[in-house]
Every structure is written in structure tokens, then in C-alpha cells.
Structure 1
């Protein structure tokens, strides 16, 4: 299963989209940090124009051609936390994106695991049906032998043949269910179901025998490790940073801008000879900007940010309630599945002994044929129940690990985790 999870993580478009969203959030942090640095840019321009100057009752024409090259520097000296709060909010959003990426991986691992266990169940039911078919053939052979010896009736042989036909029908049904399971697993790993998938037999898997933690510990682990809850908590931190960022709009900002360059030009006044000239130029500006009134935009922005913070905080509480209910139910299902597995194993053992005894007694003429058919049918059901019970333990334990968040760290791994 670890190898199948590797394939799914490499091919699944949902996890790839979540990864790209995380990369986009990481870039937004870099964008926010860029405001901490000055802006430096170079300009080169060439201008030519004819400029009429009014002297007396006529215009005097002047022809200009100017080449200008400059470096400009702009930097915010003081903004009372506007940039730092925006960076804090961007970092929190990056944490949200990273945790959302982890959540998508957690969901994907669960989907692959459940599809894998469903396929194991279908395959186990098919194998159980094949064994039951062999039992039905054995019973039919016994009835035919007794018929040859004059100890069984024709209806008994016909009933044995009908039971064999029903067992063969059940085998074909389980084969179809197994093929559907293969398709579901292929879809979960984004693969082609036509290509054969090799999975471990159910008998070779280690099936848990007991829960290794209390339900209180499971809930505590979920509060600590669930990526969706951690993402909600990061959204609260981002919302708190946005509130502080909105409040900084009430404060002024102090900026500096300057330029230094070189200019060369040609000028000619009509009626006089033209001339070239060049010089260096510079400019330095220290600006203080304070918004006095903006149509209550700042008040509305703060109200909006406060409301979003309350929404994010409430979503954390809702998520915690959801997790408590989910882990509680998963824990109860896992505990029930363990008890059912033990009962199913006992049922299978008893049914096997009952069928063997009924068949031998029938061969010895002590039991009637209906007793054998009943024991055979009970054994077939017990085999199916045992397969379902074992896979149910695997599925419920996976659900519990998903609910606590442990599945993200403790899932089976392939060659390239």
C-alpha cells in the first residue's frame, strides 16, 4: 500500500494544486517583505519639442532636444507597523497553505487506504466463495456416492447440485466486485485499471488486536496534529494581523525619495545659433503623509477585519467540536470492529467444525442431508463475515488515524515516500 500511496502522491492533481497554492503563498510573503527595502530604478529619456515663448506682440520659437539619464531611489522610513503586520499576515497565510497541502495529503492517503482495504475485502470474499464452492462440490460428491450405494435419494443429489450452482454463482458475483474494487483503487492512485495491480493478501497483513490509546488521548492528539484545525488556527493569526494592519492606516508615513542623473541637451532660438550643454542634476524629497479623512474607509476596514477575526475564531471552535465528535465515533467504531473480529473468528472456527462433523455424520448415515446443507451455508456465511470483520478493523483504524491526524505521519511508505 505504501507504494500505491507514493504513486497517488506523485500523480494526484488535487495535491499538486495544493502544492502550487502553497508556493503562491510563499511568493506572497516575499512580495510583502519587498516593501521593507528601497526601490531603485533607472530612467533614460530623450525629448525634443518646439517651445514658443511670448515676448511682446509675437512668439519667439525655441527648439529643444534633451537626453536625460537618472537613478531614482524611494524608501519608506517610518510607517508605524504597516509593513510588518502585512508580513505577519502573509506568513500566517503561508502556514495555512502549507497545512492545507498536508490536509490534502491526509485525505489522499485515506482514500488510497480505504480503496486498498475495499479491494482486499472483495478479494477475500472471492477467495472465501471459491473455498465454499469446493465445499459444495465435496458435499455433492458425498451425495452422489451415497446415491450410488442406495443410501441417498434423487432429491438429495439435486439439492446438492443446486447448492453447487449457487456457490458458483456467488463466485462470479465476487469476481465482479473484485474488478470494481480494482477500478476504484486505480482511480484513487490516478492510474489505469487495465494494468494489473499486485496487492498483499489479507492473510499477510498485520491486523491490530487492541487500541493503544484512550479516546481522551485520541482527541488530544487530534487537537495537536490535525492539519485542518492547525490551518484554522493560522487563519485566526492572519486575521489578527490584518486587524493590526488596518489600524496602522490611522498613522502617518514618512518617506524619502531622491534622484541623481546627467542631462545633455541642444537648444536653438530661431534667429540665433544653436548650442549644446550638459550638467549633473539631483533631487531629494522628504515627505510626511497623514490621511486626515478618507470617507470612513479606515473605520470600515477595521470593522471588516474584526468581523473576519471573529469568524475565524468561531471556525476554530466549530472545528474542535467536529473533531471531538468524529474521533469519538471513529474510536467507537474501531472498538466495535475489534470485538466483531474476535466473534467472527470464533464463528468461523465453530462453523468449520460443525460443517466437518455434519458431513462426516451424513456419510455415516447419522445426519440427514438438510443438516449438511445448513452447515455448509453457515460456514460460507462465516467465511464472509470473517473477511468483512478483518477488513473492517483495518478500515476503522484508518478512519481513527485520519481523525487524529496520525495517518499523515504513520501511513505505510513505499520506496519513494
Structure 2
């Protein structure tokens, strides 16, 4: 343990702790994993429920809100008197000086009392402290909500990325199947003398490329699954299923203007509202700092019961008892404190200005982000319609090319070109569908609506 109390010996080499520093047991890890089963397909709402129940960031934000609530209780306690019950006993043997000689005396005393302290007037200091604590609690609660908003966005984004990866993998499987069908058709035509060896080699290359793209999409799917499991605080080594893209309703229109979206964000974004609450807290802190310039009137009082026994040298012992009381009014006014009050007031004003500037910066960022995500949502809707048309046209073109090739009208290069276009159209269609979901979710996240309008699971 002695080595742990010193800094590293040099900046050029890592610190090497002693083996006994951490003991014989392994270093404790505060690990917690969400439990998911593989016998059901989880909806997005259910995934959000599980993440909210297990995510450490939201739990830490909740703890900070509880701390702020406790601080408010502490501030409010200043409004009430302090009552202390005290009991004290004392015994001593000493020789006091009486004239020119000492007299040894033995005294024992026992006292019980109730003491009351109360601030009568402080010119609003306690009120300002309470107002600051209230605003800080509000900011903590809103920050807690914002952490949930961020978590919902993270889970939704990871879920849609996984759906996109699954869709691309399924499209790649279909593409590989089509490539093998074309290769088999070319092989049959070559056996009948209707195709050449280069035609067969082209078809084989197309099949190999489709297989490569399938393997790549499988890897991307595994990566996307791991990302979702991490956000869920689940283990990526334990498989679970999710509701598939084909089971989701893809929106086809936006129900608000960009102006309404920006204004709605100003009213509902918890991070902006938390910043505004911090400005209110800073205002109260400024008032609290000013209250130090005013006097304070305090009352102190106590009432008790005293019993004592004593004996002086050469005299007999004696016993006495009596009621005791004490009352005191104190008016205190700090005249000079080394400019501490001035410095504290300057600091409070600077913190208030900084909080206001942060609000203004947040408002600008919100407007920019909502504008950008609104444009992305409009673009995604248009791309979705274009992707649907592209897929339909590419499918028809591919079917016609295959039939024409079988009839000897088209060559293999035409078929392979149509096959590539169809594979591309399938990938575009999957991406366009997930992009609509992703862009709508991002817009709801930027406006703050995602906190209440996200898909629901088991929890309302």
C-alpha cells in the first residue's frame, strides 16, 4: 500500500503496482447484465423498457436527482428552529485559592436542558437558498428525463441499424440465390452449345461476388447486434430476436411544419428546460450572495435542571438543585470580511451570465438540429418513394433480361447487369425504409417528443 501513495517515478515508463496492492482476490467489477431470452421477438418498446430498467446512466441521473431533493430538504430545514436536548455530568476535585491558602473541594454536578436556536430575521437569505435548491432540483429532474431521452434515442437508433443490417443480409441472400440461378442457366446453355465459356466465367464471378457481399452483410449484422446489446446492457454473446422490418409500419408523411417542430422543441426539450432552471437557480444564488450584506437576528434560549453535590475540606457535604434558563437575542452584521462577500457576489453573477449564455447556445443548436433532421425526414420520404419505384423497375428489368436470355435475344452481360441493378435496388429499398424510421425518430429526439411518443412496451 505504500507504493500506492506515491506518484510514478518517471514520466517515461508506466507505473508498476506491487502484486499485493490489490490483494489476492480479483478486482471487483460492478457488472450488471440485462436478461433477454431468445424465444420471443422483442419490439422496440420492450427493448426500451429493458434498457431503462438496467442502464447505469439513467440510474446515476436518478441518484443525482435524489441528491438535489435532499439538498432542498436541507435548505428548508433552516426555516425551523433547532432544538437540542442535552445532559451533562461533571465531577472534579481541585483546590481553589481562598485568601492566603488553598481549600480542597470535591464537586459533582448533573444538568439536563433543552436548547433552542432560531433565526428570526435574515432578510430573505433562507428564502433565496430554498429557491436556488428548488431550481436545482427541477434541473436535476429534467436532466434525468433528458438521460432517458438520450437512452431511448440510442436504443431506437441501434434497433433500426440492426433492422437495416438484417434487411441487407436478407437481400444479399436473395441476390446470391439469383446469381446461382443465372449461373445454372448459363451452365445448361453451354452444355447445349448455346453459351460460351466466358459467359460461364462471368456468371461464376457474379456468384462469387454475391457470396462475398453476403458474408460482408453477415458481419455487419453481427456488429449491429453487438451495438444494440451494448446499449441494452446485455451480453452480445447471448442471442435474442427483435421484431423485423417487414412487421413495422413505415410513415409516409410528416404531420407538422418545421416552424412548429422548432417551437415544440423549445417547449419540451428537457435539456433546454434544465438549462433554464439553472438560470433560475443562478438568480437565486445572486440574491443569496447579496443577503450577506444585511444583518441577521438570532434567538438562543435554554431551560434546564441542575443538581450538584459538593464538599469542602474540613466541612460537611452539601446538595443543591435548581431550574436554569438562558435567553439571548443576537444582532450580527458583518462589517468587513476581506472582500469575501464581494467575491462571492461576483462569482454568482458570472455563473448566472454563463448559465444564460448556455441557454442561448442551446436554443441555437436546437433550431439548427431540428431544421436539419426535418429536412432529412422529408428527404427520406422522397427517397422511400423513389426506392419503391426503383425496386419495381429493376425487378421487371431483371425478369425480362432473364427471359430474353433464355430465348437467345439477350447476352449474359445484359443479364448480369440487370442482376447487379436489382441487387442494388434491393439494398436501396431496405435502407430507404429504415432511413424513414431513423429520420422520424431523430426528429422526435430533437424536438423532445420521443420521450413520450416512443413505442411502448410493457410499461405505459
The correspondence for 1:347, drawn from 386, 390, 397, is 390
Q: Give CA deviations for 1:265-285 in whole Å, capped at 9, x if unaligned.
A: 110111101112111111111
> Match for residue 351 of structure 2?
308
Instruction: Give the superposed CA RMSD.
Output: 1.1
Q: Which residue of 2 aligns with 1:213?
A: 256
Helix, strand or coil for the counterpart of 1:160? Answer: helix
Q: TM-score with structure 1 length normalisation? A: 0.98
Which residue does the alignment assign to 2:338? 295
Q: CA deviation at 1:55?
A: 2.1
2:309 paired residue number: 266
Q: Distance in 2 between matches of 1:31 and 1:404?
A: 35
Match of 2:181 in 1: 138
Distance 2:174 2:456 in 1: 33
Cα distance in 1, alignment partners of residues 109 and 99 from structure 2: 27
Secondary structure of 1:196's partner? coil
The CA distance in 1 between the partners of 2:50 and 2:234, in whole Å, is 8
Identify the structure with the greater helix proportion: 1
Aligned residue for 1:292, secondary structure, equals coil
Deviates more, 1:152-161 or 1:213-222: 152-161
Structure 2 equivalent of residue 160 of structure 1: 203
- Is the deviation greater in 87-96 or in 141-150? 141-150
> SS in structure 1 opposite 2:241?
coil
- The one-character-per-residue Cα deviations of 1:34-93 (angstroms, maximum 9, x if unpaired) are 000110111111111123322222112221111111111111111111101100000000
Cα distance, 1:202 vs. partner?
Answer: 0.9
Matched residues, number: 417
**What residue is the counterpart of 2:146 in the other structure?**
103
Cross-structure match for 1:185: 228
Give the match for residue 5 of structure 2: none
Which residue in the other structure is 2:35 paired with? Answer: none
What per-residue deviation string (whole Å, max 9, x for no partner) do you get for residues 349-380 of structure 1? 11000000000000011111110000001100
Aligned to 1:84: 127
Unmatched 5+ residue regions in structure 2? 1-43
Any conservation in 2 of the 1:182–1:197 contact (CA below 8 Å)?
no
Which of 337, 343, 346 lines up with 2:380 in the alignment?
A: 337
The 1-side partners of 2:105 and 2:293 are apart by: 49
Q: TM-score, normalised by structure 2?
A: 0.89
| Matched residue, 2:167 | 124
* Partners of 2:215 and 2:350 in 1: CA distance: 60
Q: Which residue number in structure 2 is paired with residue 407 of structure 1?
A: 450
* Alpha-carbon distance, 1:145 to partner: 2.2
What's the offset of the Cα at 1:111? 0.5
Per-residue CA shift, 1:305-360, capped at 9, x if unaligned? 11111111111111111111111111111111111111111111110000000000
2:60 is aligned, of 10, 14, 17, to: 17
Structure 1 counterpart of 2:87: 44
In structure 2, C-alpha distance between the alignment counterparts of 1:209 and 1:384, rounded to whole Å: 19
- What residue number does 2:278 align with? 235
Q: Which runs of 4+ in 1 moved over 6 A?
A: none
Equivalents in 1 of 2:137, 2:194: separation in Å? 81
